[in-house]
Every structure is written in structure tokens, then in C-alpha cells.
């Protein structure tokens, strides 16, 4: 058996190279002196300097971070409720419809979600006068709608493998369900909530298509700035920005992984 | 338990049910389901130069007369015009070929991870998930610098002496395939991995004891048993790729016209909201079948869970 593993391992190595070489090249060329992204002419950090002087980009980044944080917080609440519904109330009328609604945003093409929400917001503004104009609120609502599905998947997996005996013990001692949920269940699923929050945050920070549909004039998010710059060709500033994003995301994933792992070790 | 405590427990449970099921249901009904009704509604309208740029479907005339105008022209255009028919066909083709490519690369990877030593497994899996968290837009952007005519791949191939003149890959269907496989590979690997780790190794041992060669055992036992994982991964790739916008827009050329990009153009460049809505409805109609298949599969997998 051992002898035959090398073809498999070479495919694995090729796969990881395929996944990581583009990102590594992106990072490498962010430190390139030359404006030509593909010609190496010496080490420099000047693009980072330019990046931090680009106020249009910084404003967009700040807006994106605010949207992402608001989105993640709401998505964790709604996603956790949905996970509770699916795991703790196994049988209810309309369960199949509920599951369809929760799973659909995971695979639904962005252009459909973006277009349909924009048309809803326009119709609502005509009908009831809210939301008044489009921007922070509409983008956040759109992001919550698809992020909560991802949170529900993560929290649901955690709830399914949860040992119920602690909750049952608390119930037997007369604790009310809400108390049991807040004092016992929530701390036990906290790592999943953190992972869900971080995932919702990065999904929101990353979204171009949906935000482009539901944004109004004056609410340009970071991916929209990146997109309009990238359409004109490669730019070392975008490489520098990409490097910063990769660094932040790697940190976030490490925190989430350590949280989930520490939890696993404690049990 | 006394009667009042029972009542208390019952009302607690009813409240919990109301909040846990009700709130997500209301949110998704309002912001996910209702919008589709509006899209369908507007796809039947006509495009005009107004704010918002579509006609109303009904007008109240005098004396209780209701006039309804339904325009099927947008749908006829989508199915009869060569451009749209081509985009429709090409989207399905790209999604199908990419799914097969993801499977060909993803299956051996998932298998290698699932059969590796357990101390390696978590790290290898993390390395699959990590790119999925990194910005999608930026990962697609990375390929522009690699694939362009004076890009890194051509530099490498020229330097190795494998080619004499640079290849033009960027803005061709090949670049779209590379971008799609690159972006969606984790979606294929994760369900496959989950499926493969649950396979009982005893089956393979039994086959080996009975004199079955490993390769034959792999194709007769492992592959059929991992069919649910293959299907789940394939749907997770196929469905979103049919409507993909960013990859064909940044890496593809004029001939890589896909539905998602067409919808974007109709909406943003031509401001034809009704036509864009009709395209969304057609896209939705195509995706309903694979989506329901995926849902059924998921439910079956859950029922079989030990």
C-alpha cells in the first residue's frame, strides 16, 4: 500500500501549489519597486505608503469594516436562532421550507440576490418610504441575508455534537430553559459563534456583486474600489492591499481554529 | 411535576419555538423570498425611461375597470435571440466542465487528506479552507498578473524554453476555467473529505482479504460509497458557477459571455431592469432542479448519520 501513495501525494502537492502560488506571488510583488507588476526591480515598501495616502480607498475600507461588523453581529444572532430551530425543534410545520430557505443563500448566484434585493428596496421605498435611499443599511441587510446561512451551518454542526447531559442536569435542578440556554448552551457553543462571526465578517468584506446592486451613490465599499481599479489592469497598490487582507484573514482563521481546537481539547 | 410547572414548561417551549423559528423565517421571507416575487413581477413589465425604469403591470381605469398588461417579450428575447441563447448554453458548459475539473483535482486531494495520518489531517484541511476565507476578488485578480501576455507564466515558460512566443491565455475561456477551478476547489474538497473519512476501512480490508487488488477495490468500493460526497461537491460548484460574474468579467474575453455577466450588463450599462429580471428568472429556473437534488441528498445524508 505504502508504495502506491506517491501519485496521490504529488496530486496533493500540485493542488496546494495551485491554491497558494498565486497568493504568494501577489504578496511578493507588493514589495516590488517597479510599477510593472511582473518585472522585479528591487525591494520597496513604497506601495504601502501610497496605499495609506489613498483617501478614497481608506474611506471605502472603513465603510466596509463597519458594514462587515454590523452584518456579522446580526448574522450570528439570526443564524444561531435558525440553527436552534433546526436542531432543537426537529419537527415543525414548514420545516422543509425552512431548510430550503436557509440553504438557498449558500449557493444562490450573487447577481440574483443582488438584483432581487435592489428591486425589493426600490419597491419598499415607493410603498412605505423606507429604506430612504440606499447605502449602509441596504448593504448590511443584504449581507445579513446570505451570511446568516453560513452561520447557521457552523452553529448547527456544533449543536449536533453537543453533549446534552449538562443541559439536562440543569433542567432537572429546575432551571428555566432560557437560563439553561444562556448559562450552559451558549458558553458551550461560543467557539462556533466566534467562527461564525469571523466568517460572516470576511464574507461581507469580500462581497462585490451584491453590494454593487444595493449600494447608492456615495456608498462605495472596498471591493467596489478594488474592482474599478483592477478593471484597468494590475496595480501594485492593490497587491499591497491584498497582502494586508491576506494577513488579517490568516490571523482571523488562526484565532477561529485555536478557539475551536481549545474547545475540543477541553472536552 | 405539578400542573403549573407543566404549563410553565409548555409555554416556555412555545415561546422558544416562536423566536427560534419565527425570526429567521420572517427575515428570510422578507429579504429572500419576497424579492423573487418582485423580480418575477418586473420581468413581465416593459423597460421605460422613468424612475424606476419599468412600466406598471396594472392600471385602474374608470368605473372599476382594471387593465393588466403583461409583457412576455423579455422572455421571448432571452430564448430566441442568439446572443442570449449562446450565453445560456455557454454558462451551463462552463459550469459543467469546471465541475468535472474540480472533481478530477479535488477527489485525489480529498482522498489523500482523508487517508493521511491524523496529526496531519487537521492542518491539511485548514490549508484547504484558508484560501476560501481570503478575498475572492483578490484571488481572481492574482491570476491577471500570472496569465497576461507579459505575465509570470509566460515569463517562466519562455525562460524554460518551452515556448518561443508568449501564449495569450488571459481573456480566453481557458483563463475562465483556471479561475473557476481555483476559486471553487475548496467547495468540492470539503464535502468529499467529510464523506471519505466516514467510510468504514473494514470494507477495504475485507476486499483485500478476498484477493481484490487495491485499485479495483478503490473503483468498486470507495468510489460508489463516496457518491453522495461527489454529488454534494458537484452541486456546490455547479450552481454558483452558472451565475458567476467576477471570473468571466475579469479573466474572460468577449466570447466568455455568461448569464451572470449579461445580467450585470443589462442592469448597469443598459438600465434594462425588466430584461435583467427575466434573465434572473431564467437562471433561477435552471438552478431549481440541481438545488432540490442537493437538498434531498443532504437530508438523506443526515438520516444515515450514525
pLDDT in tens, B98-119: 999 999 999 999 999 998 888 8
Q: Lowest mean pLDDT: which of A73-87, A141-155, A181-195, B50-64?
A: B50-64
Residue A49 located in a structural domain: no
All residues at 6 or more sequence positions from B85 whose CB lies less than 8 Å from its CB, including other chains:
B78, B79
pLDDT, residue B166, reads 87
A37 pLDDT band, cuts 50/70/90, is: low
Q: How far apart are the first and last CA of chain A?
A: 35
Q: Are B78 and B279 in contact (CB under 8 A)?
A: yes
Reduced DSSP (H G I as helix, E B as strand, rest coil) percent helix, strand, coil of chain A, to 5: 80, 0, 20
Q: Does residue A68 surpass a pLDDT of 80?
A: yes
Question: Position of cell 470507495?
Answer: B222
Q: Which grid cell is B302?
A: 443526515
Q: Which of B24-28, B130-134, B164-168 is least confident? A: B130-134
The shortest C-alpha distance from A7 to chain B (Å) reads 9
Interval A150-175 mean pLDDT:
90
Q: Which of residues 227-246 of A touch B (CB under 8 A)?
A: 227, 230-231, 233-234, 238, 241-242, 245-246
What distances in angstroms separate CA A59 from CA A45, A67, A144, A221, B163, one per listed residue? 22, 12, 22, 8, 45
Q: For residue B40, is it within any domain?
A: no
The whole domain housing B217 covers: 77-304
Provide the CB-side half-sphere exposure for A117 (13 A, CA): 32
**DSSP letter, residue A4:** G
Count of A-B CB contacts under 8 Å: 246
Average pLDDT over residues A77-102: 89
Nearest CB among B21, B138, B273 relative to A85 is that of B21
pLDDT at residue B306, rounded to an integer: 45
**Contact indicator for B166, A47 with CB cutoff of 8 Å:** no
Written as one string, the DSSP assignment of A205-241 is: HH--HHHHHH--TT---HHHHHHHHHTT---HHHHHH
Q: Residue B182 and residue B142: Cα distance in Å, rounded? A: 11
Contacts of A19 in chain B (CB under 8 A): 127-128, 131, 182, 185
| Residue B27 placed within a domain | no
Number of domains in chain B: 1
Per-residue pLDDT of A162-173, as tens digits, reads 888 888 898 889
* Rounded Cα gap, residues B55 and B243, in angstroms: 26
Q: What pLDDT, on a 0 to 100 scale, did the predictor assign at position A266?
A: 62
- Whether residue A20 is contained in a domain is answered as no
Answer whether residue B211 is part of any domain: yes
CATH of the domain at A163: 1.10.3720.10
> Would you place residue A89 in the very low, low, confident or very high pLDDT band (cuts 50, 70, 90)?
confident
Q: What percent of chain B has pLDDT over 70?
A: 97
* B183-206 average pLDDT score: 90
Number of independent structural domains in chain A: 1
Sign of CA dihedral B37, B43, B44, B47: positive
In chain A, pLDDT over 90 holds for what percent of residues?
53
Q: How confident is the model at residue B305 (pLDDT cuts 50, 70, 90)?
A: low
pLDDT (0 to 100) of residue A232:
83
Q: Residue A4 — very low, low, confident or very high, per pLDDT cuts 50/70/90?
A: low
> Chain B interface, mutation test: which of A11, A107, A213, most B Cβ atoms within 10 Å?
A107
Report long-range pairs for A225-232 (Cβ below 8 Å, ≥24 apart): A225/A56, A225/A57, A225/A60, A226/B137, A226/B138, A226/B141, A227/B137, A227/B246, A230/B137, A230/B141, A230/B144, A230/B250, A231/B250
User: How many other CB atoms are found less than 10 A from the CB of residue B126?
Assistant: 14
Residue B15 in any domain: the answer is no
Bigger pLDDT: A235 or B60?
Answer: A235
Average confidence (pLDDT) over B136-146: 90
Identify all chain B residues contacting A145, using CB atoms and an 8 Å cutoff: 27-28, 31-32
| pLDDT band, residue B303 (cuts 50/70/90) | low
**Rg value, chain B, Cα:** 26
B146 touches chain A (CB under 8 A): yes
Say which of A112, A141, A206 has its CB closest to residue B135.
A206
Chain A residues 63-122 with CB within 8 Å of chain B: 78-79, 81-82, 84-85, 88-89, 92, 94, 98-113, 115-117, 119-120, 122
Which backbone phi and psi does B68 adopt, to 5 degrees? -115, 130
Nearest CB to B28: which of A101, A112, A261? A101
What residues of B are in contact with residue A16 (Cβ under 8 Å)? 127
- For residue A61, what is the enclosing H or E element? helix A55-88
Give the separation between CA B196 and CA B189, rounded to whole angstroms: 10
Using alpha carbons, select from B300, B293, B135, B209 the residue that is nearest to residue A27: B135
Distance from CA of B61 to the nearest CA of A (A): 21
Q: Does residue A7 lie in a domain region?
A: no
Assess if residue A231 is contained within a domain. no
To the nearest whole number, what is the mean pLDDT of chain B? 88
Percent of chain A with pLDDT over 70: 95
Return residues 47-66 of B near A (CB < 8 Å): 52
Report yes or no on B226 lying in a domain.
yes
- DSSP class of residue B58 equals E
Q: Report pLDDT for A1.
A: 46
Residue A124 has pLDDT above 70, yes or no: yes
Diameter of chain A measured on Cα atoms: 72
Domain CATH number, residue B164:
1.10.3720.10
- ipTM for the predicted complex: 0.89
> Pick the residue with more confidence: A257 or B25?
B25
Q: How far apart are the first and last CA of chain B?
A: 33
The residues near A196 (Cβ < 8 Å, ≥ 6 apart) are: A75, A76, A79, A80, A150, A151, A154, A155
Kindly write down the DSSP assignment for every residue of B85-122, as one continuous string: HHHHHHHHHHHHHHHHHHHHHHHHHHHHHHTS-HHHHH
Selected residue with higher pLDDT from A260 and B297: B297
Give the structural domain span for A169: 61-220
Calculate mean pLDDT across residues A118-122: 95
Q: Would you say residue B61 lies in a domain? A: no
pLDDT surpasses 80 at B59: no
Residue B52, preceding peptide bond in cis (omega within 30° of 0): yes
Amino acid at each position: 500500500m505504502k508504495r502506491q501513495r506517491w501519485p496521490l501525494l504529488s496530486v496533493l502537492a500540485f493542488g496546494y501549489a495551485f491554491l497558494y502560488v498565486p497568493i504568494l506571488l501577489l504578496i511578493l510583488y507588493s514589495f516590488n519597486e517597479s510599477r510593472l507588476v511582473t518585472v522585479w526591480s528591487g525591494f520597496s515598501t513604497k506601495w504601502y505608503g501610497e496605499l495609506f495616502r489613498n483617501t478614497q480607498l481608506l474611506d471605502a475600507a472603513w465603510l466596509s469594516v463597519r458594514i462587515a461588523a454590523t452584518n456579522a453581529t446580526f448574522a450570528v444572532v439570526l443564524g444561531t436562532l435558525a440553527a436552534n430551530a433546526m436542531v432543537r425543534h426537529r419537527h415543525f410545520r414548514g420545516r422543509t421550507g425552512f431548510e430550503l430557505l436557509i440553504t438557498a443563500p449558500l449557493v444562490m448566484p450573487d447577481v440574483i440576490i443582488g438584483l432581487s434585493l435592489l428591486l425589493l428596496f426600490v419597491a419598499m421605498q415607493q410603498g412605505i418610504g423606507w429604506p430612504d435611499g440606499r447605502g449602509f443599511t441596504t448593504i448590511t441587510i443584504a449581507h445579513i441575508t446570505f451570511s446568516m446561512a453560513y452561520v447557521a451551518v457552523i452553529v448547527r454542526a456544533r449543536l449536533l455534537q453537543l453533549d446534552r447531559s449538562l443541559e439536562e442536569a440543569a433542567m432537572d435542578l429546575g432551571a428555566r430553559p432560557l437560563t439553561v440556554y444562556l448559562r450552559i448552551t451558549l458558553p458551550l457553543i461560543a467557539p462556533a459563534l466566534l467562527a461564525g462571526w469571523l466568517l460572516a465578517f470576511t464574507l461581507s468584506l469580500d462581497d462585490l456583486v451584491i453590494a454593487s446592486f444595493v449600494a447608492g451613490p456615495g456608498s462605495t465599499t472596498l471591493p467596489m474600489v478594488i474592482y474599478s481599479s483592477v478593471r484597468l489592469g494590475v496595480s501594485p497598490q492593490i497587491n499591497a492591499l491584498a497582502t494586508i487582507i491576506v494577513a488579517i484573514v490568516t490571523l482571523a482563521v488562526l484565532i477561529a481554529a485555536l478557539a475551536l481546537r481549545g474547545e475540543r481539547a477541553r472536552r | 411535576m405539578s400542573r403549573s410547572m407543566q404549563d410553565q414548561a409548555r409555554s416556555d417551549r412555545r415561546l422558544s419555538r416562536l423566536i427560534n423559528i419565527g425570526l429567521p423565517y420572517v427575515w428570510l421571507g422578507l429579504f429572500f423570498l419576497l424579492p423573487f416575487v418582485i423580480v418575477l413581477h418586473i420581468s413581465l413589465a416593459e423597460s421605460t425611461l422613468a424612475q424606476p425604469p419599468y412600466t406598471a403591470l396594472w392600471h385602474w381605469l374608470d368605473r372599476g375597470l382594471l387593465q393588466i398588461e403583461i409583457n412576455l417579450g423579455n422572455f421571448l428575447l432571452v430564448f430566441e435571440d442568439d446572443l442570449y441563447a449562446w450565453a445560456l448554453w455557454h454558462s451551463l458548459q462552463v459550469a459543467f466542465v469546471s465541475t468535472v475539473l474540480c472533481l478530477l483535482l479535488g477527489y485525489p486531494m480529498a482522498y489523500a487528506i482523508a487517508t493521511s495520518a491524523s496529526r496531519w489531517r487537521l492542518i491539511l484541511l485548514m490549508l484547504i479552507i484558508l484560501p476560501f476565507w481570503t478575498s475572492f476578488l483578490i484571488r481572481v485578480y492574482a491570476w491577471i498578473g500570472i496569465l497576461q501576455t507579459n505575465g509570470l507564466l509566460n515569463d517562466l515558460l519562455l525562460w524554460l524554453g518551452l515556448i518561443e512566443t508568449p501564449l495569450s491565455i488571459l481573456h480566453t475561456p481557458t483563463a475562465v476555467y483556471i479561475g473557476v477551478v481555483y476559486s471553487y476547489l475548496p467547495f468540492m474538497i470539503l464535502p468529499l473529505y467529510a464523506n471519505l473519512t466516514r467510510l468504514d476501512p473494514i470494507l477495504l480490508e475485507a476486499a483485500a482479504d478476498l484477493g481484490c487488488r487495491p485499485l479495483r477495490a478503490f473503483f468498486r468500493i470507495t468510489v460508489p460509497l463516496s457518491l453522495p460526497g461527489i454529488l454534494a461537491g458537484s452541486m456546490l460548484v455547479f450552481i454558483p458557477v452558472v451565475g458567476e460574474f467576477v471570473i468571466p468579467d475579469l479573466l474572460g474575453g468577449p466570447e466568455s459571455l455568461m448569464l451572470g455577466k449579461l445580467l450585470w450588463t443589462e442592469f448597469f450599462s443598459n438600465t434594462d431592469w425588466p430584461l435583467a429580471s427575466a434573465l434572473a428568472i431564467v437562471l433561477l429556473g435552471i438552478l431549481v432542479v440541481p438545488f432540490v437534488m442537493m437538498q434531498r441528498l443532504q437530508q438523506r445524508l443526515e438520516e444515515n448519520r450514525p
